[in-house]
């Protein structure tokens, strides 16, 4: 009789995705780290600001200095990051890097006919290749934000009670649902696994996954968006 495979045969560790809303401290810290990593520390520290809008995730603003030579100085450079959307930390870093490329071209006095011209894309692709980033010229969150906020969809969700007291949500694809149940219920970090089916648009933010990614979720969000009517099954360990 073949031995039952251990969990590490399937999953070596839970892959958590933590979403967050940017803060000024986060923006300043990441600017310094990414400046040293990707721009050799050449970018002067700008002013950092936060905003809450629906039109962009980040932007660079500047005013030219009136002191001579006028075209070689900038009186004020501001990098602004949007706090309307909670995103994974890596995506926020990519947004910051996107704006830092604009800032770099500004410092080099390289102006293009398009906001994301050939030189912007060259630097973007270089950073993506060298540092494993995923910088893009636009962000799909903005394209689908309204739809994601309101559309009712059926979500088959696995709620994980973790041994450290935290909670996680896994949103497996239909074809991988049963496999996700088997793998996650066996994981030593999972105390209890519960299946919920919900139409709450809140869960639109959790992408369906083939790789059993787990999104951390707060107890408050669970109480607000899941109820007994949504409960389908509790998987005992």
pLDDT score recorded for residue 178 = 92
| 9 found inside a domain | no
Q: How many residues does the chain have?
A: 237
Residue 74: which H helix or E strand, with range? strand 74-82
Same domain, 34 and 140: yes
Coil, strand or helix at 25: helix
Could you tell me if 51 and 134 lie in one domain? Answer: yes
Listed range (15-24, 45-54, 81-90, 146-155) with the worst mean pLDDT: 146-155
Q: Pairing state of beta strands 74-82 and 213-217?
A: unpaired
> Does 187 lie in the same domain as 90?
no
pLDDT at 64: 60
Identify whether 80 is part of a domain: yes
* Bigger pLDDT: 59 vs 21: 59
pLDDT for residue 146? 45
Mean pLDDT of the chain: 82
| Structural domain total, the chain | 2
Domain encompassing residue 102: 20-145
User: pTM (2 decimals)?
Assistant: 0.57
**Looking at the domain assignment, is residue 13 inside a domain?**
no
Domain assignment present for residue 102? The answer is yes
Alpha carbon 113 to its chain's center: 30
Token reading at 171: 């949103």
- Using CA atoms in the order 134, 53, 170, 213, what is the torsion angle rounded to 10 degrees? 10
Mean pLDDT of 175-191: 91
CB 81 within 8 A of CB 34: no
The confidence band for 71, taking pLDDT boundaries of 50, 70 and 90, is: very low
Q: Of the given ranges (154-163, 202-211, 215-224), which has the lowest mean pLDDT? A: 202-211
């Amino acid at each position: 009789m073949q031995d039952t495979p251990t969990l590490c045969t399937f999953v070596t560790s839970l892959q958590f995705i933590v979403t967050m809303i940017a803060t000024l401290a986060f923006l300043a810290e990441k600017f310094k780290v990414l400046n040293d990593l990707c721009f050799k520390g050449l970018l002067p520290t700008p002013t950092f600001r936060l905003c809450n809008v629906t039109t962009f995730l980040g932007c660079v603003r500047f005013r030219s200095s009136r002191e001579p030579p006028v075209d070689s100085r900038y009186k004020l450079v501001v990098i602004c990051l949007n706090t309307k959307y909670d995103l994974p930390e890596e995506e926020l870093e990519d947004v910051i890097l996107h704006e830092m490329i604009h800032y770099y071209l500004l410092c080099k006095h390289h102006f293009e006919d398009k906001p994301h011209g050939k030189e912007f894309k060259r630097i973007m692709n270089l950073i993506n290749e060298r540092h494993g980033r995923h910088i893009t010229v636009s962000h799909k969150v903005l394209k689908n934000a309204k739809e994601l906020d309101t559309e009712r969809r059926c979500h088959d969700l696995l709620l994980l009670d973790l041994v450290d007291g935290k909670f996680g949500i896994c949103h497996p694809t239909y074809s991988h649902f049963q496999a996700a149940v088997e793998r996650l219920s066996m994981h030593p970090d999972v105390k209890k696994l519960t299946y919920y089916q919900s139409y709450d648009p809140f869960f639109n933010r959790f992408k369906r996954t083939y790789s059993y990614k787990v999104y951390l979720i707060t107890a408050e969000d669970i109480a607000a968006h899941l109820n007994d009517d949504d409960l389908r099954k509790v998987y005992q360990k």
